[in-house]
Amino acid sequence: MDTLTGSGARAAELAARDSYGRLLALLSAASQDVAAAEDALADAFEQAVRTWPGQGVPVAPDAWLLTVARNRLRDRWKSAEFRRTVVLDTDRDTPIHLDDLDVDAIPDRRLELMLVCAHPAIDRAMHTPLMLNTVLGFTAEQIGRAFSVPATTMATRLVRVKKRIRTTGIPFRLPDRDDLPPRMAAVLEAVYGAYVIDRTETGPEALHLAEVLAGLVPDDPEARGLAALVQLSAARAAARTGPDGRFVPLGEQDPQRWDRRLIGRAHEHLRAAHARGRLGRFQVEAAIQALHCTGAPDVRTLLNLHLILQDLAPSLGGGVALAAVTAEAEGPATGLARLDALLAETGEAASRFQPARATRAHLLARLDRRDEAMAEYDLAIALTADPAERAHLRDLRGRAGSAEG
């Protein structure tokens, strides 16, 4: 009763995505063939849509779907086409055998599926799209829009990469212990990739990957850290847009509009992560976000966290953020010096990096170097795609210019 229609529908969508991902992971592991598993599962869903309205929904819908899909895969294996095209000995080489599957106790093989999606033999650029497609069931069209790629192009890439999984024999099993840390790092990167894409197309559901992963490896502090990071950022999503559609920067956001439930969940993840005593990039990023969510973050603590982050995982974005925080803690001149040092070091790529230009403009404005600030705002505005943020930068440019006299 306490759930709003919106959150109820969202919960239903997530449950459907969870169930899709679990079934597909299991069928893929059994067939070593994602595309064949997808076809079989699609057939099962089709049959459900046809028969459930008349016969009623089965007591265990997932078990029903798995049984139908399993039969579809079996039919395929008996077909002549399969015998001609498949080199894999499914009796010998698969970690899961269809006949041994207990449909009443469906095991969760989504971690294995995520490891396949982020396998080193697969093009890095396809890790995140493949995960969104297989683990969460997003269509090529939705993923294409989120990555600003035509739907047909994304569909072709997905088909090609699934074929590659099959022909190269990428295994649906956990790697050996020595291989696990780098493989997990690639999985975390791919899940992080779902956090940075344009989610107007996939909705907040793309963020669910992080929660799925944290649930699969609850003892991995970085998976927990990543889930916390994603949730803390999502918690403030609504507050980022003002009533007039304008972009609202962090410092001016109304904390009342932050999602307390998500923030609470993120803190649970962070506590569990810290208990493992192994610090990593995502935990530090989440700690920075958590500090911002307190409303009035202590700038010294913030600066320290940014320094640790830039030490653990140096990045251009991290460097720009560090310069901005340095300006808060030690004054705009020190911040600008740090930023200019970073820009000199990184060169061309940095000059087209919007956050670098915008931060530099703010710092110049604060130092009252007006002409330079206005020119820098022009560069930042030219690099900004989001209309709300563009409007915000134009405001600031106007203020920087009119402060004269």
Chain contacts with another protein (rule: CB under 8 A)? 83-84, 86-89, 92-93, 119-121, 167-171, 173, 175-176, 179
Token pair of 355 as six digits: 């956050």
- Residue 97: phi and psi, rounded to 5, are -110, 130
Give the residue with the Cβ less far from another protein, 61 or 120: 120
Give the residue with the Cβ less far from another protein, 106 or 115: 115
Task: Report CA Rg, the chain.
Answer: 24
CB 326 within 8 A of CB 332: no
Report, in Å, the least distance between residue 57 CB and another protein.
38
Give the residue with the Cβ less far from another protein, 86 or 312: 86
- Residue 401: phi and psi, rounded to 5, are -80, -40
Report, in Å, the least distance between residue 218 CB and another protein.
24
Report, in Å, the least distance between residue 164 CB and another protein.
10
Report, in Å, the least distance between residue 78 CB and another protein.
13
CB 236 within 8 A of CB 293: yes
Give the residue with the Cβ less far from another protein, 66 or 116: 116
Mapped onto helix, strand or coil, the DSSP state of residue 170 is coil
Report, in Å, the least distance between residue 346 CB and another protein.
31
Report, in Å, the least distance between residue 112 CB and another protein.
12
Give the residue with the Cβ less far from another protein, 100 or 244: 100
Report, in Å, the least distance between residue 87 CB and another protein.
6
Which stretches of 88-239 are DSSP H helices?
90-93, 110-117, 127-134, 140-146, 151-168, 180-196, 208-216, 221-235
CB 225 within 8 A of CB 273: yes
- Residue 27: phi and psi, rounded to 5, are -65, -35
Give the residue with the Cβ less far from another protein, 83 or 105: 83
> What distances in angstroms separate CA 150 from CA 132, 143, 159, 206, 386, one per listed residue?
16, 9, 14, 19, 20
CB 260 within 8 A of CB 288: no
Give the residue with the Cβ less far from another protein, 111 or 207: 111
